[in-house]
Amino acid sequence: MKNNDDRLSYNMKQLKKYKKILNKTVKSIGDCTDHLYKEGWAEASSGNLSIDVSNSIPGKKIKNEQWLLITRSGCRFRETARRPWNDVLLIRTGSKKGIRIEYSGKKNARPTSELPTHKLIHDFYRKKKTRGTAVIHTHPTYIIALTHLKDYRQTDILNRLLVSIHPEIKAFIPEGVGFVPYLPPGSERIAVATQNAIEKHRVIIWEKHGCIAVADDLDRALDLIMIMEKAARIFFIARSAGFDLQELSQQQVDDLTNIKKR
């Protein structure tokens, strides 16, 4: 995916305007990073998120242009929660000049190393004519642990397990979760594999690494991760207690087809 978007340029002239327009959205980033940190899913400087805010930015836009709020490389979510404006960048993609940084909380900051994945996901949703998309990448402990077990490194088997442990998954993630075998973090390869998986799934598990969740806003994306992580946690609690899991039968799983969100 080597292209013009690998180049970065800075434009910091309209800081006050952007802060006024995006203050509520940036606050939601602080709230989300606080939750991720307290869950223990954002150790050190791990984890990143982005929101397509194109519809909030006034003025004429060029074709394929997107405006994204995204966390910067190296930020610690425990600090982002307190001062979110310090750890976000407002970037503009889609022009021949590459990625233009319109706002940065810190001088010479760069977007998260997982920018290729975020960009491809937002590109996919732009082509579907869906805006306002929020993307979270984080490291849920029990989900990562589950991918260390070779029996559950296949999409169908993994989904069968999660749904049979925690039926609510069928209500909130009816299409199931996607699975991407281990690939180097921050690489073009994991970005492309995730883009392929996102065509059918809103939640993608990265083997031995973490997950990606996509929704209309950060709260809904966080919901998807929490429900999935709960199922994985129940799995390990039952195992550690020395019991064999009493999973739902196939008929019981089939009966969940019409389950509704509460």
Say how far apart CA 140 and CA 159 lie, in whole Å.
16
What pLDDT sits at residue 260?
61
Give the per-residue pLDDT at 62: 77
pTM over 0.75? The answer is yes
Question: What is the CATH number assigned to the segment(s) 141-209+217-258?
Answer: 3.40.225.10
Write down the pLDDT at residue 27: 97
Q: For position 84, what pLDDT does the model report? A: 96
**Span(s) in the chain for CATH 3.40.225.10:** 4-138, 141-209+217-258
Q: In what order do the strands lie in the sheet with 48-52?
A: 8-10, 98-104, 88-95, 66-71, 48-52, 134-138, 210-215, 203-206, 178-180
Answer yes or no: CATH 3.10.450.350 is held by domain 4-138: no
d(CA 88, CA 141): 25
Report the pLDDT value the prediction gives residue 207, as an integer from 0 to 100. 98
According to the model, what pLDDT value does residue 259 have?
66
pLDDT in tens, the chain (262 residues): 444 345 566 665 666 778 889 999 999 999 999 999 999 999 999 999 999 999 898 887 778 889 999 999 999 999 999 999 999 999 999 877 789 999 998 888 999 999 999 999 999 998 887 755 999 999 999 999 999 999 999 999 999 999 989 988 988 999 999 999 999 999 999 999 999 999 999 999 999 999 999 999 999 999 999 999 999 999 999 999 987 777 777 787 777 776 665 5
One-letter identity of residue 59 = G
Alpha-helix residue ranges (DSSP H) falling in the chain: 15-39, 77-80, 115-127, 141-146, 155-165, 168-172, 188-198, 218-240, 250-254
CA proximity to 77, closest of 117, 44, 50, 115 = 44
